[in-house]
Amino acid sequence: MLRRVAIQTALWLAIMAALLFVPAGTLAWPQAWVLLIVMAGGSIAICAWLYRHDPALLAQRLSSPVQRDQPRWDRILLIGLLAYFAIWLAVMGLDAVRFGWSHVPTWAQVAGALALLWTNYVFWRVFRANSFAAPVVRIQRERGHRIVTSGPYAIVRHPMYAGAIGLTLGTPLLLGSWIGLALGFIMIAAFGYRAVREEATLAAQFPEYADYAARVRYRLVPRVW
């Protein structure tokens, strides 16, 4: 499994690097290197923790985003999100470096880097609390799937998507792209849509989910939604 982790992580980082540096037209983009280092460090640390404490979840996280028993709507949504993510990174390279349309102050770029670190922390908290946090919407009957209500799930019903908001906002701030920041809200809307559809799937399989949703009122952001 470690070999698979290394290969997938290296491939993902290489694709991200190409999507950033080719549109930018240069490797002299310190903010992009910081992004890749933070992403690589977070991925390695979380995978190492999962390998030791929850190898079954690690295997789930390494699985394909398109699976046989995955709802059709989720397949379409994930494929669309992956394509949009690739375009999003390329646009930020064009905006922040090649054409220099955006001028993001240093303090905002630092805030973006901190948001990415916070995202890695949230993801780790989610994986520590929820062994069923697969990348696809699927009831994992073979693993004794159950509703998780502790840890970050006691604050919001979808802490993984809440953490992804930090990634979506922090990345364009760090890279220095106001256009990327604006385009990021489309992905946040997609997270919200997926959260609603995922809840319908969980509620249909677990009668206790309604009580949990009544106790934890907010999906992504406390006192907002």
Whichever domain contains 86, its CATH number is 1.20.120.1630
Mean local confidence (pLDDT), 4-28: 93
* Rounded CA separation 53/131 (Å): 10
pLDDT surpasses 80 at 1: no
Tokens coding 160: 């993984």
Whether residue 222 lies inside any domain: the answer is no
Residue range of the domain that includes 139: 2-215
Instruction: Give this prediction's pTM.
Output: 0.91
In a domain? residue 223 = no
Give the tens place of pLDDT for each residue, 120-147: 999 999 999 998 888 888 887 787 788 8
Judge whether 139 lies within some domain. Answer: yes
**225 falls within a domain:** no
How many domains are there within the chain?
1
Collect all residues with Cβ–Cβ distance below 8 Å to 42 and sequence separation of at least 6.
116, 117, 119, 120, 123
* Residue closest to 20 by CA, chosen among 90, 86, 88, 81: 90
| CA 49/CA 68 separation, integer angstroms | 28
- What single string gives the DSSP state of each residue in 16-50? HHHHHHHHHT-S--HHHHHHHHHHHHHHHHHHHHH
Residue pLDDT, tens place only, 160-211: 999 999 999 999 999 999 999 999 999 999 999 999 999 999 998 899 999 9
